Structure 1
Amino acid sequence: MYKFVFLINPISGGGQGKMIHQFLPEIMASMNYTDDQWKAEFTNIDGLEKQISDALANTEKLVAVGGDGTVSSVLSVMVSSEYAKSVKIGLIPLGTGNDLARVLNLYKPYVDKGLLFLVRRLLQAKARPFDIWKVNGKIAFANYFSGGIDARIAHDFNHARAVGEFNSNSVIVNKLHYVKSFFADRSYHLKKGKLSFVDAEGRSWQKILDGHRTVIVGNIPSFASGANPFYKSDMADRLLEIVCVPNMFMFLLAIAVGTVPVVGNFVKKHFLKTHKARSIELEFADDEFLQLDGEDLSGKLGGHVKIDFACQVQIMALGE
């Protein structure tokens, strides 16, 4: 049984995962961990589920090194296993958005003080409870889900990267391409949409979303690389936040002022009007653009999306 297993996505962050793999032995030795107390391996996309299952069965703490998609893959396996309560999860952020790392206070220390500082702090960090949800009974949902303009942007970005339209070995280049995709897709809106949810008090609600720019469902107080359109979000209250965005002004408002103290909360409470929900069902056109935790799910879920609570895990976080 290892104290730590590091699963490293070799292509995240423009290939920074390979550099981290190279320096980990030196870092772990400096903290007096012996070779039999930890191991590190690159993720293997072809056998990823088994690789994660094997890692969970043989460690006390599993550290995902990559973007939000990497940790989401780990959590998807945890949801259907017995390890949710026994194995703690850590994250070293290498992705483009890194929203989960931001709310766990892992992203800024990594950017400001480097890998050695973050690894030292992370391996000594306390774990906190964290809600995990299931989409259509099988896909783990940790950060946020959305359908509409932002999902269209994510789809176009992922497609362009897959066909080699730009060099993805740079976080800055990735973000610039997101901006380019936004301006190309700025007129997009939902073809059709219907939201049904059960609120915190157990009451049922419905809302028609035809023509809306997007609907965003959040589990964490961060969206699209650090914006926060959600009012009083809590990552361990077994509730989701829903924001329905009818027009481009509201979409830009959510991105621009969501993190501003006082003003941001006023806008979120009185204009964006966050709904809190125990469970959610969404109806879309079958070909609607959808994304989950930054990953493109367009065409993979059909027109019906059901989101339910799955479990709580223990995830390592740093203090403010």
Structure 2
Amino acid sequence: MYKFFFLINPVSGGGQGKVIHKFLPEIMESMDFKSDDWKAEFTRKEGMDEQILNALASTETLIAVGGDGTVSSVFSIMLSSEYASRVQIGLIPLGTGNDLARVLGLYKPFVDRGLLYLVRRLLLAKSRPFDIWMVNGKYALANYFSAGIDARIAHDFNHDRATGVISSNSVVANKLHYVKRFFADRAYYLKSGRISMIDRDSEFVENMDLTGHKTVIVGNIPSFASGANPFFKSDMADGYLEVVCVPNMLNFLLAIAMGGVPVLGYFLKKYLLKSRKVRSLTLDLADNEYIQLDGEDLSGKVGSRVKIDFATQVRMLSLEE
């Protein structure tokens, strides 16, 4: 049984995963870990689910090295296995948004002090509880889910990357391309939609017509779209989701730009955006609606009805108290 198992996405962050893999032996030896205390593998496109399952079965702590999508793949496998209560999960952020790393206190040390410093800190970190949700009984939701303009942007970004329009793996280049996609897709809105939410008392069901809205955002963590926070008093381990239904572009821009501003952000999220705490929800959308889950494009993969329920709680390594 390994103390640590590193699953490394070799292409994330412009290939920085390969740098981590190269220096891991030196780092682990400097911290008095023996060679049989840990293992590192590059993720594989083919057979990745089996690879994750084997890693979970052979370690006390699995560390995903990559973007939010890499760790989300781990969570999805944990939903259908017995390892949620036994294996701790760590994250070394090499993606574009890195929203989960931000709320776990991992992103700032990474930016300020570098990857190697973060690895050393993470290996000594304590874990904290973290909610995982299930989308249509299949997909794990760790960070957020959305349908609308932001999901359309994510879809077009992923299409551009897959077709070679984006030729760089640079985080900065990716963010600049996201801005370009925003201006290209700014007129998009939900053609039809309805949401049914069970509130925090598990008694009252609230229904809303979302037709014509710019987006609906469902959050598990207080970070969205590379650090924005449109949610009111979000907590990643309280058994609740935060739901923000955004009717127009002005509200969308305010949510992204002003949500984290003290005082102003508080009133914005409570009274203008009206963030709601819910235990579960059902979304009925148009058949061709754009959908994203933890930054990954799910358009056309989950159908027009989306149901989100609590799944389990895991332990995440965190540098936040």
1:56-113 per-residue CA deviation (whole Å, 9 max, x = no partner) reads: 0110000000000000000000111111011000000000000000000001101110
Letter in 2 for 1:45: K
Aligned to 1:154: 154
Give the drift of 1:45.
1.5
Matched, 1:8 2:4: no
Asked if the contact 2:20/2:116 (under 8 Å) is kept, the reply is: no
Aligned to 1:235: 236
Asked if the contact 1:151/1:290 (under 8 Å) is kept, the reply is: yes
Matched, 1:102 2:99: no
Q: Could you tell me how far apart the structure 1 residues matched to 2:192 and 2:304 are?
A: 10
Please give the secondary structure, in 1, of the residue aligned with 2:309: strand
Q: Could you tell me how far apart the structure 2 residues matched to 1:90 and 1:169 are?
A: 23
1:177-218 per-residue CA deviation (whole Å, 9 max, x = no partner) reads: 000000000000001010001000111110000000000000
Please give the secondary structure, in 2, of the residue aligned with 1:212: coil
Q: Could you tell me how far apart the structure 1 residues matched to 2:303 and 2:80 are?
A: 22
Please give the secondary structure, in 1, of the residue aligned with 2:279: strand
Aligned to 2:192: 192
Aligned to 1:314: 315
Structure 1: runs of 5+ lacking an equivalent: none
Aligned to 1:289: 290
Aligned to 1:80: 80
Aligned to 2:25: 25
Letter in 1 for 2:16: Q
Aligned length: 320
Give the drift of 1:146.
0.2
Asked if the contact 1:65/1:93 (under 8 Å) is kept, the reply is: yes
Percentage of matched positions with identical amino acids: 70
Please give the secondary structure, in 1, of the residue aligned with 2:211: coil
Aligned to 1:111: 111
Letter in 2 for 1:25: P
Please give the secondary structure, in 1, of the residue aligned with 2:27: helix
Give the drift of 1:151.
0.2
TM-score (structure 1 length as normaliser): 0.99
Please give the secondary structure, in 1, of the residue aligned with 2:267: helix
TM-score (structure 2 length as normaliser): 0.99
Aligned to 1:215: 216
Give the drift of 1:261.
1.2
Q: Could you tell me how far apart the structure 1 residues matched to 2:158 and 2:19 are?
A: 24
Letter in 1 for 2:222: P
Asked if the contact 1:167/1:173 (under 8 Å) is kept, the reply is: no
Asked if the contact 1:198/1:279 (under 8 Å) is kept, the reply is: yes
Asked if the contact 1:149/1:213 (under 8 Å) is kept, the reply is: yes
Q: Could you tell me how far apart the structure 2 residues matched to 1:162 and 1:286 are?
A: 23
Q: How does 1:116-265 map to 2 (within 5 A)?
A: 116-202=116-202, 203-265=204-266
Asked if the contact 1:154/1:294 (under 8 Å) is kept, the reply is: yes
Give the drift of 1:283.
0.5
1:16-54 per-residue CA deviation (whole Å, 9 max, x = no partner) reads: 111111111111111111110001000011111110110
Letter in 2 for 1:274: S
Give 4+ residue runs of structure 1 displaced > 2 Å after superposition: none
Aligned to 1:269: 270
Please give the secondary structure, in 2, of the residue aligned with 1:276: strand
